[in-house]
């Protein structure tokens, strides 16, 4: 029923979709792994990125890359502020019940940011048709818009960049150290406050880049972050909480899964299919697809 060419086309679509899921999920995973925060305001940083890019590109008419970079900067700034104003004071005052408390804080933050966006910019969709014109034709005859291809490249670039940062820089190693053993990190002289701020800033930066580079697909509006939030949680739960390395293949798996179920069963069914698969996987592997018994950042 499916020819090899159709499968190839679906595969490409799924991979393109998965790149952004991976980018969102890696940030979520980073925040959970390092700070133990179940982050439910991740989508609002995506939203912030989308709005920033919209204003810079469509209103001030600056080039697309400038728009995306400003979105990244706004995301970083907002993330650092959020950490300094909310999580850092909370940690100082009350470290017990941390996971539950921070969960509630992020839900609250999500409401506040959504409604602030609604109050500031209204409920209408603010989108663009595209950043870059044209499309690329693959050998199979399939067309991919340049926009889509570049947003994919941006996602890959960010993920590889983050990887390099975590693996090869002193600060990145300190971040992984905190994720693996907080007391050990303190004992070697790592300042936890600083690491937490950087981690949250980085994660927000990546969400904002995702929001900015997908602006032509998803116009900015106050609740635009919800879908990417759910998708990234889906990825993170699928591969195992806090498993940063797993979030990347996880993003692609979810992208492919959705594309194929969309093709096979129609648009109404894609979430049903992918969530059913998630339930099945968790039934047999409760710690997630790549989860080990001990939650850690192995190979991260």
Partner 1 sequence: MLTVAQLESGYNHLQVLWDVSLKVMKGEMVALLGRNGAGKTTILRTIAGLLKPKAGRIDFMDRRIDGLPAHEVSRMRISFIPENLHLFPAMSVLDNLLLGAYSIQDPRKIKESLAFVHDIFPALAQRRRQLAGSLSGGEQRMLALGRGLMSQPELLLVDEPSLGLAPRMASTVFDTLGKLRLRGLTILLVEQNVHTTLQISDRSYVLEQGRIVLEGGSREFLENDHVCKTYLGSGDE
Instruction: List interacting residues with partner 1 (CB under 8 A).
Output: 170, 173-174, 176-177, 180-181, 183-192, 296-300
Token couple for 291: 């989860």
Q: How far is the CB of 23 from partner 1 (least distance, A)?
A: 23
**62: three-class secondary structure by DSSP:** coil
- By beta-carbon proximity to partner 1, the closer residue of 202 and 300 is 300
Question: How far is it, in rounded angstroms, from Cα 56 to Cα 67?
Answer: 5
CB of residue 105 to partner 1, shortest distance in Å = 23
Q: Which residues of 54-84 are buried (b: 16+ CB within 10 A; e: fewer)?
A: bbbbbeeeeebeebbbbbbebbbebbbebbe
Tell me how far, at minimum, the Cβ of 170 lies from partner 1, in Å: 7
In sequence order, the β-bridge partners of residue 62 are none
Nearest distance in Å: CB 299, partner 1: 7
The whole-angstrom separation of Cα 246 and Cα 241 is: 9
**Cβ contacts of 123 within 8 Å, gap of 6 or more:** 221, 222
* Rounded Cα gap, residues 157 and 65, in angstroms: 14
**Both structure tokens of 254:** 């979810």
Terminal Cα-to-Cα distance of the chain (whole angstroms): 40
Shortest Å, Cβ 287 to partner 1: 16
Q: What angle do CA 221, 90, 237 make, to 5 degrees?
A: 55
Measured from the CB atom, the residue of 31 and 185 that comes closer to partner 1 is: 185
**Beta carbon of residue 229, minimum distance to partner 1 (angstroms, whole number):** 27
Between 39 and 176, whose beta carbon lies closer to partner 1?
176
């Amino acid at each position: 029923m499916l020819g090899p060419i159709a499968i190839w086309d679906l595969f490409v679509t799924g991979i393109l979709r998965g790149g952004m899921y991976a980018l969102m999920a890696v940030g979520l995973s980073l925040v959970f792994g390092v700070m133990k925060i179940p982050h439910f305001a991740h989508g609002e940083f995506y939203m912030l990125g989308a709005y920033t890019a919209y204003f810079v590109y469509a209103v001030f008419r600056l080039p697309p890359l400038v728009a995306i970079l400003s979105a990244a900067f706004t995301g970083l700034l907002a993330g650092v502020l959020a950490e300094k104003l909310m999580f850092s004071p909370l940690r100082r005052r009350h470290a017990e019940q941390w996971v539950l408390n921070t969960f509630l804080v992020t839900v609250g933050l999500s409401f506040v940011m959504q409604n602030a966006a609604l109050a500031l910019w209204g409920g209408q969709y603010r989108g663009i048709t595209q950043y870059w014109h044209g499309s690329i034709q693959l050998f199979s005859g399939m067309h991919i818009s340049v926009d889509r291809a570049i947003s994919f490249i941006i996602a890959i670039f960010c993920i590889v960049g983050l990887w390099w940062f975590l693996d090869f820089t002193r600060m990145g190693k300190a971040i992984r150290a905190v994720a693996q053993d907080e007391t050990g990190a303190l004992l070697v002289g790592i300042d936890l406050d600083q690491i937490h701020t950087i981690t949250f800033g980085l994660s927000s930066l990546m969400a904002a880049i995702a929001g900015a580079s997908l602006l032509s697909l998803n116009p900015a509006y106050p609740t635009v972050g919800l879908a990417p939030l759910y998708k990234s949680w889906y990825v993170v739960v699928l591969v195992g909480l806090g498993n940063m390395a797993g979030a990347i293949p996880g993003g692609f798996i979810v992208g492919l899964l959705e594309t194929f179920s969309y093709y096979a069963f129609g648009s109404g069914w894609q979430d049903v299919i992918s969530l059913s698969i998630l339930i099945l996987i968790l039934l047999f592997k409760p710690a997630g697809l790549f989860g080990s018994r001990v939650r850690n950042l192995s190979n991260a």
